[in-house]
Chains A and B, each alone.
Chain A
Amino acid sequence: MPFGKLANLLSFLFLLMSFLLIVRNSLSGQVRMFAIQSGILAALAGVVALFGGRLELFGVAAVFAIIKVAVIPSVLNRTVAKIGMQRAVAPYLGTSSTLAVCAVLVIIAFTAMAPITGSDPLPTADGIPLAFAGVLIGLFTTVNRRRALTQILGFLMLENSIFMIALLATYGVPLIVEIGVFLDVLVAVLILEVFVYRIKQNFDSIDVKQLGVLRG
């Protein structure tokens, strides 16, 4: 299969995982979708490394896989087990309207990324709008979901999508920056885990609607 088509297929599967994540009802199911999405992304990084001749991307793919396929999902699963809460529902918008919004976001992504896809000489450029759609869906999930844990997953999807844009548009940003970004995200997730746990202890729920004391 030619490089461009393979990258495209992986980008498509990546976005599919974002959609599957938002329709999932159980928290552990959502975490699993996120882990699969990260796995697809690591594979994409490997493919770009192989066909694009960027050997350092193999290293990035490996670090990425360790952090986002193994460490972060296990941290999130541990949190799910600790707070003993499985249901992830309670979005502000219901599932069908959420899907409709996300479909519109995909269309917006194709329009917004036109200047980049039009000018990018790389064979991977066609996947960029799909990645950008992932950014928008991640953002939307963060604002639409009331469960703290799903907000964190929205943020992580957003991060994944930005990594993918960098991968598709320029074969990745320099290695040192990439590693720094991974570490920041990892620390952020670890801190967020502590907070989710404390929120659960303090408010007896991880519904962020409870967090409404500070106003005005």
Chain B
Amino acid sequence: MILVLLLFVPAVASALIARSRNSSRAALIHVWANIATLIAGLDVVQRVYVTKTEIAWNLLRADSLSAFMIAIITFISAITGIYAVGYVNTEFDSSQFRRARLFYALFQLFIFTMLLAVTTDNLGVMWVAIEGTTLATVFLVNLHDNHTGLEAAYKYLILSSVGIALAFMGTVFMYYAAVAQASEIGLSWTSLIAVANRLDPTIVRLAFVFILIGYGTKAGLAPMHTWLPDAHSEAPAPISALMSGVLLNVGLYALIRFKAVADISAGPAFASAWLMRFGLLSLGLSAAFLVSQRNYKRMLAYSSVEHTGIIALGLGFGGYWGTLGALLHMVNHALSKSMLFILSGSILLKYRTTEIRGVRGLLKTAPWTGRAFLCGIFALVGLPPFGAFISEFIIFRAGFAMHSTAYSVIGISLLVVVFAGMLASMNSMLYGSPAEPWDRSDPVRLPLAPVALNVVLLLALGLTLPDGVQEFLGGVLRIVGVSL
């Protein structure tokens, strides 16, 4: 039941907002829907922690892996959603009410499609929902309605649609392999994994390659990432935060589900090898673009490609530690990147430019924004005591333990390059004296406050891993077939 409610809230909120008559009413529905979705999401997580699986009406199903995703989606969308109100109120005046309403309605629809993708057992419905995320966000990318936004939105839609069509073909092949075993399987993941050891490995391999290319496009793996820097940098900041922090993880989630099947059927080495190749390529390509990046929103976007690469490396190294590291890194990246994109919105509202060169003395002109930005970048590049340090450490330790020494050594070296590039950019934005005498104030104040929670959680993940969380993650790992 609670699963139905979880999906019901954003869907209904989207419809109500689309019919609302003024901006403040739309914002009110939006905020309450975000809070209600978060509460429902946490309730699902807590129930799954106890019962292992929640099922509603034979349509929706949540196991530990789904609950893990629900936690990320609902938490980040609540933080982002609250900030979005401040952003929209500053960015759009009352004459642009229709645009603000469109923003809120599509925001809720976007959350609905993501939640549907992770709460269905049917791999076909999951595909439909993930394509739905593209359709819900494409107008948001073009919300500012200018040349570059149009270019980004067109590229995003055509590349993602073509990419994800290939994932559908992979799904069809997987279905084909399953039908050969038992005709009544349908496209259910649970029955697919139950017969995985009897599936024809040749066909599963073929299917997985298409799925990796397809969902890899959504997850931002290089070389299918070309839409990502454009879309993530052109979208309004709250949407960039959700696309980078959450949507990429939904693409990875689909890959994790199919990898579990391929591991059993075709042996773990097959999917791992491909994930490691794509992962390292993503890391290398993004490092090249990060060292001399001139636009801070594009810097954050390329950093998302980098982190998707790290997560793919973790999944590729595999085993208990590699996969655990990848899961933790998904959380750390979601928390730090969503926060940084939120802050990039405030920086843009303040300085009216996305050029790194145009932003000087952020700590002086907008002290809270600047301090939070500093914490976020430190957390993102993996400095201790933040969580990403631990997850990256676990991932590369797993790499050495699994004898993927070359991948680990090159990966770590690339991380150092990224580290240097991003710190240099951050330095020039935070310090120095501003070109004009700006007044000393943060453009968005109260709605920004919740990002403090991101910082607290990032610190907590860097310092401890409570028993309850560890047990929960152990449950997620058992779902995908790895244990100590």
Q: Which A residues form the contact surface with B (CB < 8 A)?
A: 112, 115-116, 119-120, 135, 139, 142, 148, 151-152, 154-155, 158-159, 162, 165-166, 169-170, 173-174, 176-177, 180-181, 183-184, 187-188, 191-192, 195, 198-199, 202-203, 208, 211-214, 216
Contacts and interface: CB of A to CB of B under 8 A. Distances in A.
A170 B157 contact: no
B124 A173 contact: yes
B229 interface: yes
Given A119-B180, A181-B128, 5 more contacts: A120-B176, A142-B158, A158-B162, A180-B127, A216-B294
A170 B172 contact: yes
Interface majority SS on A: helix, strand, loop or mixed? helix
Interface stretch (B94-102, B148-156, B437-445): B148-156
B25 to A, nearest CB: 27
Of A119, A187, A202, A214, which is in contact with the most chain B CB atoms at under 10 Å from its CB? Answer: A214
Contacts of B132: 184
A158 to B, nearest CB: 5
A155 B157 CA distance: 11
Interface string B171-200: 111011001100000110000000000001
Contacts of B124: 173-174, 176-177, 180-181
B202 interface: yes
Contacts of A176: 122, 124-125
Interface string B224-266: 0000011001100000000000000000000000000000000
A199 B150 contact: yes
Interface of B: 122, 124-125, 127-128, 131-132, 134-135, 138-139, 142, 147-148, 150-155, 157-158, 161-162, 165, 168-169, 171-173, 175-176, 179-180, 186-187, 200, 202-203, 206, 229-230, 233-234, 289, 293-294, 298
Contact of B169 (A154, A162, A183): A162
B154 A116 contact: no
A158 B148 contact: no
List the 6 shortest-distance A-B pairs measured between CB atoms, nearest first. Answer: A177-B124, A180-B128, A211-B151, A115-B202, A184-B131, A214-B230
Contacts of B173: 116, 169
Contacts of A187: 135
Contact of B128 (A112, A170, A177, A211): A177
B139 A174 contact: no
Contacts of B162: 139, 142, 154-155, 158
B84 to A, nearest CB: 22
B168 A191 contact: no
Interface majority SS on B: helix, strand, loop or mixed? helix
A165 B454 CA distance: 46
A25 B265 CA distance: 47
A189 to B, nearest CB: 9
Of B135, B165, B293, which is in contact with the most chain A CB atoms at under 10 Å from its CB? Answer: B165
A177 B158 contact: no
13 contacts: A116-B176, A155-B162, A165-B172, A169-B176, A174-B187, A177-B122, A177-B124, A177-B187, A188-B131, A211-B150, A214-B230, A214-B233, A216-B294
Contacts of B138: 191
A155 B176 contact: no
Contact of B155 (A174, A202, A211): A211
A2 to B, nearest CB: 23
Given A170-B179, A181-B127, A202-B147, A195 B157 contact: yes
Contact of A155 (B127, B165, B206): B165
B127 A115 contact: no
A141 to B, nearest CB: 10
A116 B151 contact: no
Contacts of B179: 170
A187 B180 CA distance: 33
Given A188-B135, A213-B147, A214-B151, A165 B169 contact: yes
Contacts of A202: 147, 150
B176 A177 contact: no
A192 B158 contact: yes
A176 B142 CA distance: 31
A174 B134 CA distance: 23
B474 to A, nearest CB: 32
Nearest to A178: B124
Given A162-B169, A184-B132, A191 B175 contact: no
A151 B158 contact: yes
A119 B203 CA distance: 10
B168 A162 contact: yes
Nearest to A169: B176
B260 to A, nearest CB: 20
A214 B206 CA distance: 34
B127 A177 contact: yes
A180 B148 contact: no
Contacts of A216: 289, 293-294, 298
